[in-house]
Copies of this chain bind each other. A is one copy, B any other.
Amino acid sequence: MSVTSTTIVTPQLIAFEHNFPLQNGQTLPRFDLMVETYGTLNAAKSNAILICHALSGTHHVAGRHSPDDKHAGWWDNMVGSGKPIDTDKFFVVGVNNLGGCAGSTGPRSHNPETGLDYGADFPVVTVRDWVRSQALLADHFGISEWAAVVGGSLGGMQALQWTIDFPRRVRHALVIASSPRLSTQNIAFNDVARQAILTDPDFHGGYYSRHQTKPRRGLRIARMMGHITYLAEHGLGKKFGRQLRGNEYKFNYDVDFEVESYLRYQGDKFADHFDANTYLLMTKALDYFDPAAEHCNNLTAALAHVQAKFFVASFSSDWRFAPSRSHELVKALIAARKDVQYIEVPSHHGHDAFLMEDEPYINAVRAFMVNIKV
């Protein structure tokens, strides 16, 4: 079936009814993953693509959930019939990560051990945990190896971890606007975001749902700040400049500048739907990701057994995950004598560029995907 931006897609919840040990030493008694699939798995099961999401992403990658759904999935420009990740050729799987808040087991879920929602009892999961849960998902579909694992930002970290942890189960990895580990500045911004949430009086130690509330203020501040870091200085300037809402300065703390209005709107929207505990654990997964650490900080050594062919892309104005971070990965892959293609895309959209229409970028992904044999 053809998948377009208006195709109605239906997510499915897949249950894993067994213990799932985590990197932090805790064990989940069971878990669900919310997934969405596009296209058809071929008989050889050789055309499967896994899409890994970033901090606030979900399983809903392409199409719409209902005819009056205002927006298509978060990567609808990339995934669909005739699109770079072509659902006429590939069977594409989107998955909401464990610990997420879009249907997979996470802090909002029922904890069978307490009979209450997990809240703060949900463990801090890692990129490695996610990859292991996604491997169980592959087993569920009978997929022994992915034709490709694809992700941007935190999603790119998952794609990279896949190639390290399951070298025989990934033929290609697309690591976009990502990094082999966070910089000090990245960690610093994440901690400020977490502190905004943790110190919100409505956080209640993470058990806010039991108090029929949520730390909206903290989430809003975290998102506003995050949003600035996802955009480029230049792009923000081009879009808003110093444009005023009214005709003159207000001399109070209402909106003076359009950029303030935009950011507050983004913060409010996010605080309305996202879960604070999920935000916290996602940022921790980002901070902890560091595959080179177990190899004396030698990323080349960490990549020694990788078998996937890599596509790495970065964006010139991305200062959250700067091109230099992708260079580290590319250099290590080359040093480890792996197959890697790299494109640095000129853009003024900052980190968010990986989600946007950009011809050279889209074409580069298309060219890479076209050459994948299924």
The reply to whether the CB of A42 lies closer than 8 angstroms to some CB of chain B is no
Whether the pair B220, A199 counts as a contact (CB closer than 8 A) is yes
CB <8 Å contact, B256 and A287? yes
Question: Inside 8 A of A199's CB, which chain B residues have their CB?
Answer: 217, 220-221
Please pick, from B23, B192, B233, B249, the residue contacting A225 in the complex, using a CB distance under 8 A: B192
Interface presence of A112 (CB below 8 A): no
Q: Is the Cβ of B192 less than 8 Å from the Cβ of A263?
A: yes
**In whole angstroms, what is the CA distance A125 to B72 when docked?**
46
- A237 interface contact, C-beta 8 A: yes
The residue of chain B having its C-beta at the shortest distance from the C-beta of A267 within the complex is B195
A1-44: CB near B (< 8 Å → 1, else 0) gives 00000000000000000000001110000000000000000000
* Interface residue? A247 (CB, 8 A): no
User: Do A195 and B183 touch (CB < 8 A)?
Assistant: no
A246 vs B23: C-alpha distance in the bound complex, in angstroms?
A: 17
Q: Is A331 an interface residue (CB 8 A)?
A: no
Main secondary structure of the interface of A (DSSP, over half): helix
A260: CB under 8 A from chain B? yes
A309 at the A/B interface (Cβ < 8 Å)? no
From A185, A237, A252, A290, name the one whose CB has the most chain B CB atoms within 10 angstroms: A185
The verdict on A63 contacting chain B, using a C-beta distance below 8 Å, is no
**Residue contact B228 to A189, C-beta cutoff 8 Å:** yes
Q: Which of A194, A260, A290 has the most chain B CB within a 10 Å cutoff?
A: A260
Chain A contacts with B in 235-256, Cβ cutoff 8 A: 236-237, 239-242, 249, 251-253, 256
Do residues A259 and B228 form an inter-chain contact, with CB atoms below 8 A?
Answer: no
Does A123 contact B188, Cβ atoms closer than 8 Å? Answer: no
> What sequence of 0s and 1s flags, for each residue 204-244 of chain A, a beta carbon within 8 Å of any chain B beta carbon?
00000000000001001100110010010100110111100
Given A221-B221, A228-B185, A241-B184, does the pair A124, B288 have CB atoms closer than 8 Å?
no
Number of copies: 2
Query: How close is A195's CB to chain B, nearest CB, in angstroms?
Result: 6
Given A249-B288, A253-B194, A264-B195, decide whether A188 and B221 contact each other with a Cβ distance below 8 A: no
Q: Report the Cα distance A287→B250, complex, angstroms.
A: 12
Contact B260 A188 (CB under 8 A): yes
How extensive is the interface on chain A, given as a class? Answer: 35 or more
Chain B residue at smallest Cβ distance from A26: B251
Task: Give every chain B residue within 8 A of A259 (Cβ-Cβ).
Answer: 184, 187-188, 191
State whether A191 touches B124 (Cβ < 8 A).
no
The answer to whether the Cβ of A82 comes within 8 Å of any Cβ in the partner chain is: no
Q: Does A196 lie at the interface of the complex (its beta carbon under 8 Å from any beta carbon of B)? A: yes
A284 at the B interface (CB under 8 A): yes
Q: Could you name 23 residue pairs across A and B whose Cβ atoms are closer than 8 Å?
A: A23-B251, A124-B251, A182-B242, A183-B236, A184-B257, A185-B231, A185-B233, A185-B237, A187-B242, A187-B257, A187-B259, A188-B259, A191-B224, A192-B263, A195-B221, A198-B253, A199-B217, A199-B221, A200-B217, A221-B221, A242-B290, A253-B280, A256-B288
Residues on A lying within 8 angstroms of B by beta carbon are: 23-25, 123-124, 181-185, 187-189, 191-192, 194-196, 198-201, 217, 220-221, 224-225, 228, 231, 233, 236-237, 239-242, 249, 251-253, 256-257, 259-260, 263-264, 267, 280, 284, 287-288, 290, 319
A-B contacts besides A23-B251, A187-B259, 18 pairs, CB < 8 Å = A24-B249, A123-B251, A124-B251, A183-B233, A184-B237, A184-B240, A184-B259, A185-B231, A187-B257, A192-B263, A194-B253, A195-B267, A196-B196, A198-B253, A199-B220, A253-B284, A256-B287, A319-B319
